[in-house]
Amino acid sequence: MKAILSLTFISFFILLIGCSTQSEKVDVEQEIEAILKQLTLKEKVDLCHAQSKFSTKGVARLGIPEIWMSDGPHGVRAEIAWDSWDQLGWTNDSCTAFPALTCLAASFNEKLSYKYGKAIGEEARYRKKEVLLAPGINIYRTPLNGRNFEYMGEDPYLASKMVVPYVKGVQGNGVAACVKHFALNNQEKWRGHINVNISERALREIYLPAHKASVIEGGAWAIMGAYNKFRGQHCCHNEELNNKILKGEWGFDGVVISDWGGVHDTKEAALYGMDMEMGTWTDGLHKTKYNAYDNYHLAMPFYEKIKNGEIDESVVDDKVRRILRLMYRTCLNKERPLGSFATQEHFNTAREIAQEGIVLLKNENNFFPINPEAKLKIAVIGHNATHPMTIGGGSSELKTHHEISPLEGIKARFKNAEILYSMGYSAGIGKWWTELPSPYNADSLKTEALKVAKEADLVLFIGGLNKNLHQDSEGTDRKSLNLSYGQDELIEELNKVNEKVGVILVTGNAVAMPWINQVDAVLQTWYLGSEAGNAIADVISGDVNPSGKLPFTFPVRLEDNGAISFGELSYPGDSINQYYKEDIYVGYRWHETKNIKPLFAFGFGLSYSDFEIKESKISKKQFSSGEKLIVNCTVSNTGTIDGAEVVQVYIGKVNSKVDRAVKELKGFKKVFVKGNNDELVSVTIDIDELAFWNEEIDGWELEKGEYFIAIGNSSDNISTQIPFEVN
Ligand code: BGC
């Protein structure tokens, strides 16, 4: 009888929160308190840990539902077995594979990020997931991190601006975004235990802003703790990160979910902010057969410690409140939309993001676009022309409805051309944890490719990295900045047999380009998902004018990267500790301060048209805290082809009392301009965004004095610089 009454009570309040006004939110909080009173200690503890690989228990007695989750971040992962990583082989779970988040970041288009979040959220909703384990926003610290492709680049401002709409788009579906990985999981090597030592200033200015934006502006309902340690404590139960900063300073009222197997201690997890422990078997790493989930740190050991008074019951109550709140936002929200899955609309969105994120790095002799009507002989060389990229790479792997390869896309668009394909080189047979040697003979592949290239009017080399071990893949880092499998040598030799060579790079990371002066063109195309080949063909045919900009620096040599330049203790560490010795000088901040010319700078990307950013003005010359600085300029498309340009606004401090990067991105806007036309652009900057983290006062300080604003279309191409003052 009591149970029936409770259920009616719950249902009543579920109806209320659908349309959530302030008073109804209060009602939800009251309802959470009412539920809490009815739960036994065991039921409370059961809500705090996994019951299977991707779900947690509900409370069957009270009709409180289970929570189901899925990766993230580029599509909704296939259904996975209860207790292992095997796919279940369902036939209804082939998703839309969206482009990798590096591509999204390269679009510099916040509206597109919302569209991405909305579409992937719809897919998660249709697949009955409460939590999407996405997006990933760890900062690009070195080009060796195997997981950079899942993140949004090297700049905290860009990542902050791009993460917020993604989170909002996902959550509009009544699906929680679980933003990951909090924090400092900037390499895969030793990710489970490496202890990150970093200055408070670098933490606050570089590594936390995107997380903060996702919580404060995006309203994220879940955050995933990272595997690594920070100042001696695992991030999943890190007092400073979770209690002080996330839940304290930022007022996060959602759920901190562990990375899979990232919890190592019951008491720390209980007290230092971990709300929900996920993993595999007992601790995510080791296999036991009997009642495995009961052995989780936040399962029976947690229960016992509460029972014997070592941990106060209020600790589990706080976690349960958060978890119930997550339910009211997701599975207990009767108003949430129904979602949709693998629709044409989603494939179109994936293609649009891919088109906008592709970056044209070099284009001599107008190599691109290639006239799709011309009767040309085109040699397409390279394994990445056909290699599926949605498979592998770790937890972001996808089972997709379709993946158009670059070769298929090119063949479909260039119907009048004769397309000659030759593999040229071959990756090994890979999984993300192992790579077996290729079954092909490297010399024969090369000989054949050179023969094909010689006969052709032009060569498209399609190579780069892939989702195998030590490439762009979770769990391991890359070993070198150079391309593997003899690609660098092959590109050089292709140049000797054909004068016209364009390189199409499929990677999620910067690579060295020793052949850059020999080839005509380079197109950086990331991992583009289901519509990869179509989007690449759209750009190389000129159907779409490229407008992507690099979200991270391409160094000439590995040693030019700040973190790497400080040697092993800085990256990858000594297997116990590492020290972020480059401090705040990450990416272009390092290159500009040290005067190290990059191969391609942050924010760089060409177009088939020419743009001029002119008549830049700022609203006034003196500002104080709380004010906004408005930059107005005109973007002229001086060519005949319609296209888009990204106005980038950087700010630097003259004679600062603290070390500062030469300049930092503080605003941007992407604008579409028709050929031979102008558009007026206005970018607003919050003056308080110019503050630096002052370690002496342990807080933000807006330094007074002289600053300059630098407006351009790349960090290394500034058209106007204007001084101003803060007082
Ligand atoms: C990854 C997470 C992922 C989780 C579940 C972990 O290994 O680090 O990003 O969400 O697995 O697949």
Within a domain: 659: yes
Residue type, 33: E
Within a domain: 421: yes
Cα(260) to centroid(ligand 1), Å: 6
φ/ψ region of 256 (left if φ > 0, alpha if ψ in -120 to 50, else beta) reads beta
Considering the domain architecture, whether residues 654 and 557 belong to the same structural domain is answered as no
Considering the domain architecture, whether residues 503 and 624 belong to the same structural domain is answered as no
C-beta of 166 in contact with ligand 1 (< 6 A): no
Residue type, 719: S
Taking only the tens place, the pLDDT of each residue in 516-558 is 999 999 999 999 999 999 999 999 999 999 999 999 999 999 9
Considering the domain architecture, whether residues 548 and 633 belong to the same structural domain is answered as no
Within a domain: 128: no
* 187-212 b/e (C-beta count within 10 Å ≥ 16 → b): bbbbbbebbbbbbebbbbbbbbbbbb
Within a domain: 373: yes
Do residues 602 and 154 make contact, with C-beta atoms less than 8 angstroms apart?
Answer: yes
Q: Is 149 helix (H, G, I), strand (E, B) or coil?
A: helix
**Low pLDDT (below 50) residues in the chain:** 1-19, 283-285
Within a domain: 11: no
Write down the residue that tokens 């050929």 correspond to. Answer: 675
Considering the domain architecture, whether residues 422 and 560 belong to the same structural domain is answered as yes
Domain boundary among 530, 562, 593: 593
Residue nearest to atom 7 of ligand 1 (CA): 260
The pLDDT assigned to 4 comes to 39
C-beta of 188 in contact with ligand 1 (< 6 A): no
Considering the domain architecture, whether residues 448 and 501 belong to the same structural domain is answered as yes
Domain CATH code at residue 721: 2.60.40.10
Annotated active-site residue in 259, 477, 538, 583: 259
The pLDDT assigned to 131 comes to 98
Q: What angle do helix axes 344-357 and 532-540 make, rounded to 10 degrees?
A: 50
Within a domain: 617: yes
Instruction: Round the CA-based radius of gyration of the chain to a whole number and report it.
Output: 26
Residue 517 has a CB neighbour count (10 Å cut-off) of: 9
Nearest atom in ligand 1 to 72's CA: 10
The domain tally of the chain equals: 2
Taking only the tens place, the pLDDT of each residue in 189-202 is 999 999 999 999 99
* 601-637 b/e (C-beta count within 10 Å ≥ 16 → b): bbbbbbbbbebebeebebeeeebeeeeebebebbbbb
Considering the domain architecture, whether residues 381 and 529 belong to the same structural domain is answered as yes
C-beta of 71 in contact with ligand 1 (< 6 A): yes
Cα(224) to centroid(ligand 1), Å: 9
Cα(179) to centroid(ligand 1), Å: 11
Do residues 558 and 534 make contact, with C-beta atoms less than 8 angstroms apart?
Answer: no
Residue nearest to atom 2 of ligand 1 (CA): 259
Residue nearest to atom 3 of ligand 1 (CA): 395
The pLDDT assigned to 267 comes to 98
Within a domain: 482: yes
C-beta of 259 in contact with ligand 1 (< 6 A): yes
| pTM exceeding 0.85 | yes
* Antiparallel, parallel or unpaired: β 622-623 and 717-726: parallel
Q: Is 458 helix (H, G, I), strand (E, B) or coil?
A: strand
Q: Which are the contacts of 441, defined by CB distance < 8 A and separation ≥ 6?
A: none
Residue nearest to atom 4 of ligand 1 (CA): 260
How far is Cα 469 from Cα 392, in angstroms, rounded to an integer?
Answer: 9
**Torsion of Cα atoms, 115 then 139 then 99 then 176, to 10°:** -50
Distance between alpha carbon 221 and the CA centroid of its chain, in Å? 17
Considering the domain architecture, whether residues 351 and 438 belong to the same structural domain is answered as yes
Q: What angle do helix axes 110-126 and 156-171 make, rounded to 10 degrees?
A: 40
Considering the domain architecture, whether residues 519 and 631 belong to the same structural domain is answered as no
The pLDDT assigned to 256 comes to 99
Considering the domain architecture, whether residues 384 and 442 belong to the same structural domain is answered as yes
Q: Which are the contacts of 501, defined by CB distance < 8 A and separation ≥ 6?
A: 453, 458, 459, 461, 491, 494, 495, 518, 519, 520
First to last CA, the chain: 68
**Measured between alpha carbons, how far is residue 19 from residues 129, 175, 329, 493 in Å?**
21, 16, 11, 65
Residue 259 appears among annotated catalytic residues = yes
Q: Which residue of 79, 80, 133, 432 sits with most ligand 1 atoms within 8 Å of its CB, as the best mutation to test the pocket?
A: 133
C-beta of 260 in contact with ligand 1 (< 6 A): yes
From edge to edge, which strands make up the β-sheet containing 611-618?
Answer: 611-618, 628-637, 677-686
Taking only the tens place, the pLDDT of each residue in 1-34 is 344 334 434 443 333 334 456 777 779 999 999 9
How far is Cα 426 from Cα 434, in angstroms, rounded to an integer?
Answer: 16
Domain boundary among 564, 593, 622: 593
Tokens of 542: 């000129």
Distance between alpha carbon 39 and the CA centroid of its chain, in Å? 38
Considering the domain architecture, whether residues 640 and 722 belong to the same structural domain is answered as yes
Q: Which of 18, 70, 26, 22 is CA-nearest to residue 336?
A: 18
Do residues 635 and 700 make contact, with C-beta atoms less than 8 angstroms apart?
Answer: no
Cα(74) to centroid(ligand 1), Å: 13
Tokens of 671: 């604008």
Q: Is 382 helix (H, G, I), strand (E, B) or coil?
A: coil
C-beta of 102 in contact with ligand 1 (< 6 A): no
Residue nearest to atom 6 of ligand 1 (CA): 260
Do residues 483 and 509 make contact, with C-beta atoms less than 8 angstroms apart?
Answer: no
Q: Which are the contacts of 685, defined by CB distance < 8 A and separation ≥ 6?
A: 628, 629, 630, 631, 649, 651, 666, 667, 709
What is the CA angle 498-502-508, rounded to 5? 140
How far is Cα 673 from Cα 301, in angstroms, rounded to an integer?
Answer: 62
C-beta of 180 in contact with ligand 1 (< 6 A): yes
Cα(474) to centroid(ligand 1), Å: 9
Q: Which of 209, 155, 203, 244 is CA-nearest to residue 580?
A: 203
Domain CATH code at residue 579: 3.40.50.1700
Residue nearest to atom 8 of ligand 1 (CA): 259
Domain boundary among 593, 619, 653: 593
Considering the domain architecture, whether residues 701 and 552 belong to the same structural domain is answered as no
How far is Cα 507 from Cα 357, in angstroms, rounded to an integer?
Answer: 13
Tokens of 30: 């009251």
Cα(76) to centroid(ligand 1), Å: 13
How far is Cα 706 from Cα 58, in angstroms, rounded to an integer?
Answer: 58
Q: Is 440 helix (H, G, I), strand (E, B) or coil?
A: coil
Q: Which of 108, 104, 105 is CA-nearest to residue 119?
A: 104
Considering the domain architecture, whether residues 366 and 455 belong to the same structural domain is answered as yes
C-beta of 395 in contact with ligand 1 (< 6 A): yes
The values of phi and psi at residue 143, to 5°, are -75, 0
Write down the residue that tokens 């290729």 correspond to. Answer: 438
DSSP-derived letter for residue 551 is S
Q: Which residues pair with 617 in a beta bridge?
A: 632
The values of phi and psi at residue 436, to 5°, are -90, 155
- Using H for helix, E for strand and C for coil, what is the string for 255-317? EEECCCCCCCCHHHHHHCCCCEECCCCCCCCCCCCCCHHHHCCCCHHHHHHHHCCCCCHHHHH
Structural domain of 505: 344-593
Q: Is 545 helix (H, G, I), strand (E, B) or coil?
A: coil
Within a domain: 68: no
Q: Is 612 helix (H, G, I), strand (E, B) or coil?
A: strand
